[in-house]
Amino acid sequence: MKFSEYHFVDEIKENIDKLGYKKPTDIQYKAIPNVLRGEDLLAIAQTGTGKTAAFALPILHILHTSHNTKRADGIRCVVMVPTRELAIQINGVFTHLGRGTRVTSFSVFGGVEQAPQISKLEKGIDILISTPGRLFDLVHQGYIHLHRVKILVLDEADHMLDRGFIKDIRDLIKFLPKKRQTLFFSATIDDDIKKLAYSLVTNPIRIQVSPKDPVSKNVDHSVLYVKMDDKRYFLERLANENPDKKILIFTRTKVRAERVHAAMHRVDIQSVVMHGDIDQKDRLQALNTFKLGNVQMMIATDVTARGIDIPDVDFVVNYDIPEHPENYVHRVGRTGRGKNRGIAYSFCDDSERDMLGSIEDYIGKKIKILSIDVLDYNEVKDLSVEKPLQLKDILSSFEKPIKKKGKKKK
């Protein structure tokens, strides 16, 4: 089936065509008809499957064809997401797919001045994309009214539970009409997810798009056994051998991200860093800089990068093996998106072998090992342009403060 065969309004069809979309992905093909029929949905789909458009397209069509010119306090759809970056990204999808329609969307999130957000809300919008924390604050302050909401979407629900948003979500549900359509999307399913989902949906259509190998077939992923202190040399070699490629690096902690960033700076490789202790404004600037290709590398933690759609990432590097196996799937899913192919490397120290084994159990297969002999290994280190650090430089790298987020302004 082609997108041209769907009964979307002409404006949406034109936008789909301009974006070059021809055929729906599996999750879009399975979800769109059910959403258009007004049914509740419980969808399990990994990142990179096109699930944002799976709910954005039918929602835009529904709201456009049932448009009320009196928009005051008339938010008709709420999309809850776990992170600020994802809220901005999803709002962008609604904006591009909804051009020319009578539907407006807007995203709100914490960590920034709320006054401009309130000003926009007062003008009236149809679709609100928000993190639960900021949404809860604005509802209690009386700036957001949810009594006219017809559609509720929870996206990346498993991630919202991981981040402790469960209480905010349950409290917010009390402000929504009981008679509504609820669309529940999650990359993983467990007892906690099921409990939350079935407390929100009514007789849902369940859709699961989960191939036997949860890693996209477009990603060639492999592991290289590297000592912890030598990882920076191999990252330097990868960057120098691929100067025109985008490289997304994942670390386990914020401190590790900062140290990798500093190591790349010492060898004159430009990079940006992204983690939860960086101001929202600086995080967005770093993300845009990397998206535009103005720097070769972005170094990130799992919390800040999950669910973000960064176009044309050539390499994903697991600088640290993730502690949670599902994070491996989310990380490597940042490359090989759509029809593009991607490459993911994992640098594994001996101390991380147990975590690697857990990942292999989770994905149901062994990860390909890239063998390297002692001579080649030592050559990578010997060819590094990094100069030996003086004692004062080593001490300063441990003492370097991480830039803190500004206080939340209400």
Structure confidence by residue, pLDDT tens digits, 177-219: 999 999 999 887 888 888 888 888 999 999 988 655 677 788 9
Q: Which amino acid is at 374?
A: V
Q: Answer whether 0.95 is exceeded by the pTM.
A: no
The sign of the dihedral angle between the CA atoms of 161, 167, 172, 174 is positive
Say which residues have a Cβ less than 8 Å from residue 307's Cβ, sequence separation at least 6. 47, 81, 82, 83, 85, 86, 89, 155, 156, 159, 330
198 is written with which tokens?
Answer: 């079935």
Q: Which amino acid is at 143?
A: Y
The answer to whether residue 214 is domain-embedded is no
Alpha helices in 75-131 (DSSP H): 84-97, 115-123
The per-residue pLDDT for 165 is 87
Percent above pLDDT 70 for the chain:
90
Residues 258 and 388 in one domain: yes
Residue that is last in its domain, among 209, 243, 275: 209
Residues 267 and 141 in one domain: no
Residues 164 and 257 in one domain: no
The answer to whether residue 244 is domain-embedded is yes
The answer to whether residue 237 is domain-embedded is yes
* Angle between the N-to-C axes of helices 132-140 and 115-123, in degrees from 0 to 180, rounded to the nearest 10: 70
Residues 47 and 196 in one domain: yes
Residues 203 and 224 in one domain: no
Residues 145 and 291 in one domain: no
The per-residue pLDDT for 59 is 97
Residues 164 and 251 in one domain: no
Residues 189 and 277 in one domain: no
* CB-CB contact of 125 with 103 (8 Å): no
**Mind listing the pLDDT tens digit for each residue in 273-309?**
998 788 878 888 898 899 899 999 999 998 766 667 7
**Distance from C-alpha of 309 to C-alpha of 332, rounded to nearest angstrom:** 12
We report the CATH number of the domain holding residue 345 as: 3.40.50.300
The answer to whether residue 45 is domain-embedded is yes
The per-residue pLDDT for 45 is 82
Span 155-166, average pLDDT:
86
The answer to whether residue 407 is domain-embedded is no
The per-residue pLDDT for 387 is 58
Say which residues have a Cβ less than 8 Å from residue 249's Cβ, sequence separation at least 6. 235, 260, 271, 297, 298, 299, 300, 316, 317, 319
Give how many domains the chain has, as a whole number: 2
The answer to whether residue 409 is domain-embedded is no
Q: What is the residue range of 332's domain? A: 219-399
Residues 299 and 363 in one domain: yes
Mean pLDDT score of the chain, rounded to an integer?
A: 87
Residue that is last in its domain, among 175, 209, 243: 209
Residues 251 and 149 in one domain: no
Residue that is last in its domain, among 151, 183, 209: 209
59 is written with which tokens?
Answer: 């929602």
Residues 97 and 227 in one domain: no
Integer angstrom CA distances of residue 40 from 74, 159, 269: 21, 20, 48
The per-residue pLDDT for 410 is 44
Residues 250 and 394 in one domain: yes
